[in-house]
C-alpha cells in the first residue's frame, strides 16, 4: 500500500518543511518492512480562481488525481473527528493494507478548506481539534501521525501509549 500526503500549498524552506521531510522519510523507511513500500508528499498549487468555492473545486480536482481506484482517502478538515486515538488509527491503516487497498492518500486543503466532493469521498475525516492551525503545521502533524501509526504496527518504542 502506497502512503501519500497530498496538501494544497507549498511549504517554504524552514522548520515546517524540515520536520515534514523528517517524518516522511521515517515513515518511508519503517513502512517498507510493514507492507508500505512507498511514502511521498505531494504539493498541490493553490487555485487562482477569484471565488473561494471555485478555488475549492479546482483544488479538489487536483487532489483527487492522487487517489487511485480502490484507494483510501483520509481528509483533515476542521469538521473532522478529533477523538481517534493513535492505536485506533494504526488499526485502520493495517486493515486497509490487509484488504489490499492500493494506497492511503491523506489530504489537506488550502486556506479555503476542502470542497464537499473530497469530504464525501473520504473514508475518514480527521481534525486536530477546534483550534485553527497553520497548514504547514497540520502537514507536519499529519505526517507524524502516519509515522506513529507505523511505529505502533511495528511494535516500536516511539509510541508508548498511556504508560509512556
Kindly give the confidence (pLDDT) of every residue in the chain, 164 residues in length, as a single tens digit, with 9 standing for 90 and above. Answer: 999 999 999 999 999 999 999 999 999 999 999 999 988 999 999 999 999 999 999 999 999 999 999 999 999 998 899 999 999 999 999 999 999 999 999 999 999 999 999 999 999 999 999 888 888 999 999 999 999 999 999 998 776 665 44
Torsion over CA: 137, 85, 60, 55 (sign): negative
**Torsion, CA 3, CA 67, CA 71, CA 113, rounded to 10:** 80
CB contact burial 83-108 (16+ within 10 A = b; e otherwise) = eeeeeebbebbbebbeeebebbbbbb
Query: CA torsion sign, 46 to 18 to 138 to 93?
Result: positive
Q: What is the pLDDT of residues 130-163, one digit of tens each?
A: 888 888 999 999 999 999 999 999 998 776 665 4
Phi/psi of residue 156, nearest 5 degrees: -75, 145
Length of the chain equals 164
**Angle at the Cα of 44 from the Cα atoms of 104 and 2, rounded to 5 degrees:** 20
What pTM, to 2 d.p., does this model score? 0.91
Amino acid at each position: 500500500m502506497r502512503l501519500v500526503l497530498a496538501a494544497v500549498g507549498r511549504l517554504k524552506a524552514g522548520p515546517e518543511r524540515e520536520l515534514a521531510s523528517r517524518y516522511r522519510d521515517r515513515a518511508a523507511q519503517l513502512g517498507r518492512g510493514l507492507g508500505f513500500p512507498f511514502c511521498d508528499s505531494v504539493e498541490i498549487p493553490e487555485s487562482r480562481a477569484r471565488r473561494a468555492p471555485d478555488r475549492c473545486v479546482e483544488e479538489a480536482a487536483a487532489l483527487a488525481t492522487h487517489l487511485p481506484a480502490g484507494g483510501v482517502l483520509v481528509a483533515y478538515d476542521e469538521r473532522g473527528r478529533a477523538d481517534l486515538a493513535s492505536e485506533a488509527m494504526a488499526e485502520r491503516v493495517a486493515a486497509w493494507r490487509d484488504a489490499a487497498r492500493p494506497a492511503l492518500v491523506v489530504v489537506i486543503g488550502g486556506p479555503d478548506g476542502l470542497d464537499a466532493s473530497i469530504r464525501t469521498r473520504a473514508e475518514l475525516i480527521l481534525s486536530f481539534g477546534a483550534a485553527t492551525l497553520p497548514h504547514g503545521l497540520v502537514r507536519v502533524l499529519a505526517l507524524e501521525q502516519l509515522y506513529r501509526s507505523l511505529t505502533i504496527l511495528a511494535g516500536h518504542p516511539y509510541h508508548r501509549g498511556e504508560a509512556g
